[in-house]
Structure 1
């Protein structure tokens, strides 16, 4: 037996989210049906507003509702260090530990030849352009400790080292195959403290 079309479409919509399979999508859809109409409308409005009102910072490409973002606009941050991450979620993970006070650059992905993603498909060119600023002394590579993250880190190292800018990598306190957003503050703090040359 099939669900009515509106429920089926709602289930399909939830299944497009990462980590949501058919059973979880069904539970979420029926939960929404049991919510008050005002709450459903507020939830829908939040989804639409997030998609409409958010953009990427023109400097670091972090997700923001103001350009430049609050991090790039903060004059108290160390402008000589740029931390390179794969995704905006990684910026939030690093900011939670409240120890890193430099700038960021969000690549929006990682090099993955198997998936047809090369350096030209992520914000690599924009990073290289930012490095022409003489105030940059260090690039801290904080890509995920995955095959794609390591490939991206090595590519960045080869591109940046000839410029004389110091290239460091987060220490291996992070699990291989894990994502920055799931690491706790202590692990991230140790990883930043123990970063090494590439």
Structure 2
């Protein structure tokens, strides 16, 4: 992209540079959810239409956007801005677990929904957070995993199919 902009689109390169400069000067982390925002507290956290008793923990801002696009969750969020990865030097401090712990103890949160990815690091992060919050008087839940809607068994990997069978529910 950089080569294209430098060779063929100087105007586009300037617009991109200006946008990045603006973002660096004006974008910060929301004091409540840690997501990116131009405000001290983001629009989602200021909303009176969301359930303050529910707190969904996601790894990245893109994960929050996917949750919002699915229209399946109406609670609050906390964005870790990463996941635990000791091999990469990412520990609890780097993903703001101190801020998450403080947020869960605000007297409003009753349930923490762990919505980290189903990778080794995401699972480790969810487990660590679950253990961290275990004795705090909160309900701790984990998003389900399994077969995609509209998926066919013959095209699903064996790990996903096995997990779907293990996490089956009564009808």
Please give the TM-score of this superposition, normalised by the length of structure 1: 0.70
Deviation at 1:120, TM superposition (A): 2.0
Q: Deviations over 1:29-56 (max 9, x none)?
A: 1344212x43332222112112221110
Using the alignment, how far apart are the partners of 2:101 and 2:91 within structure 1? 15
Structure 2 gap ranges (5+)? 149-166
Tell me if 1:152 matches 2:125. Answer: yes
Q: Name the counterpart of 1:18.
A: none
How many residues in Structure 1 have an aligned counterpart in Structure 2?
150
Using the alignment, how far apart are the partners of 2:147 and 2:136 within structure 1? 28
Deviation at 1:154, TM superposition (A): 0.5
CA contact (8 A) 2:54 2:76 kept: yes
Using the alignment, how far apart are the partners of 1:115 and 1:41 within structure 2? 34
Which ranges of 4 or more aligned residues in structure 1 deviate by more than 2 Å? Answer: 37-40
Using the alignment, how far apart are the partners of 1:114 and 1:164 within structure 2? 32
Tell me if 1:93 matches 2:63. Answer: no
Match of 1:164 among 128, 137, 146: 137
Using the alignment, how far apart are the partners of 2:11 and 2:108 within structure 1? 51
Using the alignment, how far apart are the partners of 1:174 and 1:60 within structure 2? 30
Q: Name the counterpart of 2:25.
A: 52
Give the direction of change, closer, same or farther, for the CA distance of 1:173–1:70 in structure 2 (3 Å limit): farther
Using the alignment, how far apart are the partners of 2:18 and 2:147 within structure 1? 37
Using the alignment, how far apart are the partners of 1:174 and 1:104 within structure 2? 25
Spell out the pairing of 1:62-141 with structure 2 (5 A cutoff).
62-141=35-114
Give the direction of change, closer, same or farther, for the CA distance of 1:136–1:174 in structure 2 (3 Å limit): farther
Using the alignment, how far apart are the partners of 1:51 and 1:125 within structure 2? 25
Q: Name the counterpart of 2:15.
A: 42
Structure 1 gap ranges (5+)? 1-24, 176-193
Higher helix share: 1
Using the alignment, how far apart are the partners of 2:45 and 2:5 within structure 1? 40
Please give the TM-score of this superposition, normalised by the length of structure 2: 0.80
